[in-house]
């Protein structure tokens, strides 16, 4: 499915350029803050369309909560009905957790796959052993657990991509989406995080979908992990990924969530797919 976009306009281009100048940023500085290339940023200021998954970076760079109005006809919000034709739509997630969960995985997996491919492309031109912390721009750098930053090299990203593509295939085939490894849990978690950000930016088209939107993100904003009730944590049946990978807990090599065990088949291994 093609990424949704905000139709470019002279008005939006002027607003972006004016805000950048107001903050005293060069195009290079603004692009770096937004994790896009300078040529891409220049296209925004020339009035070209902006992909929805790039809006978060633009808003971060310009200290905006959202892009200004006058965004064109393409910004109609997300449609769950449209995502039902997506190659990664999961009937399993839809049946067990609702259509909002299936849309979250489909939409989030598109964005995550783009981020992985972008980092892989840049790492491929760097010396072996280089990691995403050394890249000029990387969405994944802030999304992956901080403790293992130097392990996120090209080989790891390739494994991450294969895991993601495998889950997308399982989704499209209607198979169970239960995670059997920390790597699969991580991919599902990141897909959900990306989808939440996308829904916050785009909105949804009708009242039925707004209800799904609320179910997808409403409890996500709770402060304590045990209060969260997102579909992804219901799927995991715990919040261990938050407790061990995103809570500033130092993990020793023998811990099941340590990087060295991310590929191990640890969960639901007795369950048939």
Residues 223-257: tens digit of each pLDDT: 333 333 479 999 999 999 999 999 999 999 999 99
- Is the confidence at residue 23, as pLDDT, over 50? yes
Q: What is the pTM of this model?
A: 0.74
Residues 145-171: tens digit of each pLDDT: 999 999 999 999 999 999 999 999 999
Residues 110-158: tens digit of each pLDDT: 989 988 998 999 899 999 999 999 987 788 988 999 999 999 999 999 9
**DSSP E strand boundaries for 35-139:** 50-51
Residue 86 lies in a domain: yes
Q: Which domain holds residue 222?
A: 80-261
Same domain as 145, residue 56: no
Same domain as 12, residue 47: yes
Q: What is the pLDDT of residue 204?
A: 62
Residue 53 lies in a domain: yes
- Is the confidence at residue 59, as pLDDT, over 80? yes
Report the number of distinct structural domains present in the chain.
Answer: 2
Same domain as 213, residue 103: yes
- Is the confidence at residue 71, as pLDDT, over 60? no
CB atoms within 10 A of CB 2: 6
Same domain as 30, residue 144: no
Same domain as 103, residue 131: yes
User: Domain ends where: 62, 88, 108?
Assistant: 62
Cβ burial 184-222 (10 Å sphere, 16+ → b, else e) = bbbbbbbbbbbbbbbbebbebeeeebeebbebbbeeeee
Burial degree of 251 (CB within 10 A; 0-12, 13-18, 19+): middle
Token pair for 202: 């785009």
CA angle 100, 216, 147 (to 5 degrees): 120
Residues 96-107: tens digit of each pLDDT: 999 989 999 999
Residue 120 lies in a domain: yes
Q: Which of 155, 137, 150 is nearest to 57 (CA)?
A: 137
Alpha carbon 61 to its chain centroid, in Å, reads 18
Residue 268 lies in a domain: no
Q: Which residue has the higher pLDDT, 40 or 259?
A: 259
Same domain as 107, residue 196: yes
């Amino acid at each position: 499915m093609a990424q949704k976009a905000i139709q470019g306009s002279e008005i939006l281009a002027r607003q972006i350029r004016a805000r950048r100048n107001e903050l005293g940023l060069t195009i290079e500085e603004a692009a770096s803050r937004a994790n896009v290339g300078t040529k891409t940023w220049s296209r925004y200021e020339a009035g070209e369309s902006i992909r929805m998954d790039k809006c978060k970076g633009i808003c971060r760079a310009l200290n905006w909560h959202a892009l200004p109005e006058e965004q064109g006809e393409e910004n109609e919000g997300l449609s769950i009905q449209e995502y039902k034709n997506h190659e990664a739509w999961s009937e399993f997630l839809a049946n067990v957790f609702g259509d909002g969960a299936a849309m979250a995985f489909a939409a989030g997996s598109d964005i995550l796959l783009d981020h992985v491919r972008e980092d892989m492309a840049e790492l491929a031109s760097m010396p072996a052993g280089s990691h995403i912390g050394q890249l000029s721009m990387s969405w994944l750098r802030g999304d992956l657990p901080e403790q293992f930053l130097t392990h996120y090299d090209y080989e790891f990203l390739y494994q991450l991509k294969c895991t993601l593509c495998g889950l997308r295939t399982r989704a499209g085939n209607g198979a169970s989406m239960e995670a059997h490894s920390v790597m699969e849990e991580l991919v599902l978690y990141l897909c959900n995080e990306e989808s939440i950000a996308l829904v916050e930016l785009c909105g949804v088209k009708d009242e039925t979908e707004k209800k799904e939107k609320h179910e997808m993100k409403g409890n996500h904003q709770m402060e304590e992990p045990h209060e969260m009730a997102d579909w992804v944590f219901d799927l995991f049946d715990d919040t261990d990924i938050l407790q061990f990978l995103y809570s500033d807990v130092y993990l020793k090599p023998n811990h099941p969530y340590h990087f060295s065990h991310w590929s191990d088949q640890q969960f639901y291994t007795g369950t048939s797919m």
